[in-house]
Amino acid sequence: MTPLNKMYPGQKGKVVGFTDDNRVSRRLMEMGMLPGSSIEYIRNAPLNDPMEVQVGESCLTLRHAEASLVHIEVDEA
């Protein structure tokens, strides 16, 4: 498992879970970032924060601190 903030643009994977159950992780789940969802790291902002990811059909923008709460199983392809 890899934290989402340690991935690089273009990488894909599946959401495994969250570091802990807090307000931020619950909000991310409300926005569709559920365990088992496919995720793709699209790009970083010019100063490297925030990052844009695609979860299913939705694009989300997250700070790296928020992304560190999400655990990903990275596709090896």
Q: For residues 5-33, give the mean pLDDT.
A: 92
Per DSSP, what are the bridge partners of residue 53?
Answer: 41, 60
Q: Which CATH superfamily is domain 2-74 in?
A: Ferrous iron transport protein A (FeoA) (2.30.30.90)
Q: Decide if pLDDT at 11 tops 90.
A: yes
- Greater pLDDT, 21 or 77: 21
Q: Is the pLDDT reported for residue 77 higher than 70?
A: no
pTM: 0.86
Verify cis geometry, omega within 30 degrees of 0, for the bond prior to 3.
no
Q: How confident is the model at residue 48 (pLDDT cuts 50, 70, 90)?
A: confident
